[in-house]
């Protein structure tokens, strides 16, 4: 899905985090900043933060002022990852893009429907904890809740969340815990450099999330 023109974008495996971070900054003009990373302690992988019960091992911000650390400069990214080459790649939302987060099953259902409708899609990531993030134009976080309600759903009840200012997402090839790496479900390409507005995607996403939520309730009965 959308991978044929992605020669300039880092591969999901086998490419250094430093090179990936630099390319995101230089070629997509995304702000990037280094997060935590995984370390082997007594034969087990743990987050560099040191917490035994870390919620996002190897893929969260190191400092509370992470937003001031982020850079859109390739030179700046190279300097930061040269100091911490194993650091995860984190992308602040609310700047060049917002991200609509949904469960993986619903995300792939919506993705297939959008492609049949020939909608213009932006990049989409898939995380090891079975979540998907659809990149859309900034400003989505403020209007998506109302858009979902107008479609007849409550965002929280269908597990649909929008990440805007003050949040960040992990970018490929960042590894999270021992479960795997963040991957592209739809890679960044020259064709999707211009992101869609949330309004163009929200109907398909809300429908898929609502369907999955209804099926989950049925199974629980």
Over residues 173-196, mean pLDDT: 92
Edge-to-edge strands of the sheet including 161-163? Answer: 161-163, 98-103, 131-136, 124-126, 183-186
Mean pLDDT computed over every residue of the chain: 90
d(CA 140, CA 163): 8
Which of 110, 197, 97 shows the shortest CA–CA distance to 159? Answer: 110
What's the pLDDT tens digit per position in 94-130?
999 999 999 999 999 999 999 999 998 999 999 999 9
Reduced to 3 states (helix: H, G, I; strand: E, B; else coil), residue 133 is strand
What's the pTM?
Answer: 0.90
Please, are residues 109 and 73 in contact by the beta-carbon 8 Å criterion? no
Helices and strands: H and E segment counts in the chain: 6, 10
């Amino acid at each position: 899905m959308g991978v044929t023109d992605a020669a300039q974008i880092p591969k999901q495996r086998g490419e250094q985090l430093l090179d990936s971070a630099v390319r995101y900054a230089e070629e997509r003009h995304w702000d990037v900043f280094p997060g935590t990373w995984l370390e082997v302690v007594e034969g087990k992988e743990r987050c560099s933060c040191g917490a035994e019960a870390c919620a996002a091992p190897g893929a969260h911000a190191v400092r509370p002022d992470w937003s001031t650390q982020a850079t859109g400069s390739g030179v700046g990214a190279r300097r930061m990852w040269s100091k911490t080459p194993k650091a995860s790649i984190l992308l602040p939302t609310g700047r060049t893009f917002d991200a609509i987060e949904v469960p993986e099953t619903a995300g792939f259902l919506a993705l297939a429907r959008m492609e049949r409708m020939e909608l213009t899609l932006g990049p989409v990531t898939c995380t090891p904890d079975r979540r998907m993030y659809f990149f859309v134009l900034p400003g989505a976080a403020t209007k998506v809740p109302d858009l979902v309600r107008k479609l007849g759903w409550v965002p929280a009840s269908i597990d649909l969340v929008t990440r805007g200012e003050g949040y960040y997402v992990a970018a490929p090839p960042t590894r999270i815990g021992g479960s795997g790496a963040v991957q592209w479900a739809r890679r960044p390409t020259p064709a999707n450099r211009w992101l869609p507005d949330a309004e163009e995607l929200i109907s398909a996403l809300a429908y898929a999330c609502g369907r999955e939520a209804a099926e989950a309730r049925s199974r629980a009965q």
